[in-house]
Structure 1
Amino acid sequence: MFRRILGVATAALIGAATLTAPGSSTALAAPAPPKVAVDFTGIVALNNCSGSLVRTPSAADTDPALVLTNGHCYEGGQPGAGQVITNRASSRTFSLLDPSGSRTLATLRATTLLYATMTDTDAAIYKLNTTYAAIQQSYKTPALQLLTDHPTSGADLRVVSGYWKRIYSCRLDGFAYRVREAAWTWKDSLRYTSECNVIGGTSGSPVIDAGTGKVVGANNTINESGGRCTLNNPCEVDEAGKVTVRPNIGYAQQTYTLANCIAPGSTLDLNRAGCTVPKRRPAA
């Protein structure tokens, strides 16, 4: 059976046991936490980006499956600053990869673009015409689980690109109060350490916490040439308005803010507790 996570249940001892006086006990270190190996299970390729088959912790196997990518990967073009798209018909297709990333298991098709924006975050989520159970039965492929809480700085990350069939490994360096790129501004972005030197086509890749196997973000940009707040050269802006440029440092947008908007049946409910993505503005 294909699996994305290989659990290691071995209890490791840290350091050597110390022999003490007769009658005393030998202290053993606590078992090491299970290690997680991340591969291409649940990863999809788009025609212009990367993405992943995802589910919330409360999703039912009979719910329509969901695909996560960036808002700027939307087939209708990049949403403008302040624009939010919800519940729009879509027939977009996604190539579901095998665990090695070497071949395509299936072509998945959307029925609906549930949500897309580049305001505050850079995320899009599609509802498919098939269920989690059907995908599991036909292709032995489970969906990746979305984290529904704020991640922790220092986490060991994997950025898995279906477009390039490449996995980047780095750590979560911290959180940028604001990231600005051209007309768009994103809040509380994940900042990578330099090892995740992502490139075009990796947009929308799931950012996976290798300690839990859960999706914590969607990869979306990197400062390519040291530019200041321009297209392909994002900058950071702190609470006081100070601008910092970090050449060759990449960013992702947290996904728990959108994960908490998914209601039973893979429907969108922007009024759910914990749902903090921007809401669609009523028509004028």
Structure 2
Amino acid sequence: MFRPLKAALTTVVVVGAAVAGIGAAPASATSHSAVSAPQAKAPAAVTVDFAGTVSLSNCSGSLIKLPTSVSTDPALVMTNGHCISTGFLNPGQVLVNSSSSRTFGLLNSSGTRIGTLQATKVAYATMTDTDVTLYQLSSTYAAIQSAYGISPLELSATHPTQGAAIKVVSGYWKTIYTCNIDAFVYRLEESSWTWKDSVRYTSACQTIGGTSGSPVIDTATGKVIAINNTGNEDGETCTLNNPCEVDEYGTVTVHQGINYAEETYGITSCFGTGNKLDLTLTGCALPKP
């Protein structure tokens, strides 16, 4: 995983075990054996910038809404599960409605910090099957729009497409990475964590430490389709900072220098009216406590 970074540092620093999306060191440019998926040929339909992204003390994130969210709902911020301030979550561990007062720097389109958002709780967090933390804020979407002129990014409710053109937008580094979805990985394993149906980037997205939690945006729709979380740094197999791919037959493959993200469309089935988490909703497959 990309390790979380200390806010005072200007270089990538390891802060304990590195798991998906916690600011990993730059991945090497080693090529991999898999055949790259066809590149999306259509020009970008939307302009992707920093508006709606946030910076955390150690990671990146985004102000997000669900397809069913309305302006009067309490807003949500999304980052990685491994970016949570209390430290890495154990395999199988799920946090729900846990009190939090964490703050986030809200960015405008040019990447300038224009305000501070504050959480009231961790609505949901896990590093099992996926790698995500969803914070509920003290402000509504309408209040944020009124104060800062910033709208949230919307989570797509559909599975992403192989070959799609994407941008990974890091609020921590104020950097945007451009590449394509190379393939989908049946299981991605790193140390004791396992993620399902992960996104493998083409080699152009050389994400680094501090980019953990960055939204992955489909440039054809402008919607968030995944959350950046890890990469294989040293070519090792299934170790910390060196995730491996495992297919449905148990075959293990390593792609040194290649980075990954976790899909987010499944989150949209787990929140009801008022942006309230409800893990019992039909279609919700997020791990339960």
- Cross-structure match for 2:242: 233
- Cross-structure match for 1:72: 82
* Larger radius of gyration between Structure 1 and Structure 2: 1
CA distance in 1, matches of 2:177, 2:284: 29
- Cross-structure match for 2:4: none
2:53 is the alignment partner of 1:60: no
Residues 108-164 of structure 1, C-alpha deviation per residue, up to 9 Å, x if partnerless? 000010000000000110000000001111111000000111111111010000000
CA distance in 1, matches of 2:49, 2:43: 19
Cα offset for 1:274? 2.4
The TM-score with structure 1 as length reference comes to 0.86
- Cross-structure match for 1:146: 155
Q: 1:49 aligns with which of 59, 66, 91?
A: 59
Measured on the aligned residues, the alpha-carbon RMSD in Å equals 1.0
- Cross-structure match for 2:278: 269
Q: 1:84 aligns with which of 94, 114, 119?
A: 94
Matches within 5 A, 1:29-178: 35-101=45-111, 103-178=112-187
Instruction: Give unmatched runs, 5+ long, in structure 2.
Output: 1-41
- Cross-structure match for 1:12: none
SS in 1 for 2:182: strand
- Cross-structure match for 1:196: 205
Q: Which moved more, 1:117-126 or 1:258-267?
A: 258-267
Instruction: Give unmatched runs, 5+ long, in structure 1.
Output: 1-31
CA distance in 2, matches of 1:147, 1:227: 33
- Cross-structure match for 1:185: 194
SS in 1 for 2:274: coil
Cα offset for 1:258? 1.6
SS in 2 for 1:248: coil
SS in 2 for 1:168: strand
- Cross-structure match for 2:230: 221
Cα offset for 1:240? 0.7
SS in 2 for 1:257: helix
Percent identity over paired residues:
58
SS in 1 for 2:97: strand
- Cross-structure match for 1:6: none
CA distance in 2, matches of 1:150, 1:35: 19
Q: Highest relative contact order (Cα 8 Å, sep 6+), 1 or 2? A: 2
Asked if the contact 2:78/2:132 (under 8 Å) is kept, the reply is yes
Asked if the contact 2:67/2:268 (under 8 Å) is kept, the reply is no
CA distance in 2, matches of 1:233, 1:178: 14
The TM-score with structure 2 as length reference comes to 0.84
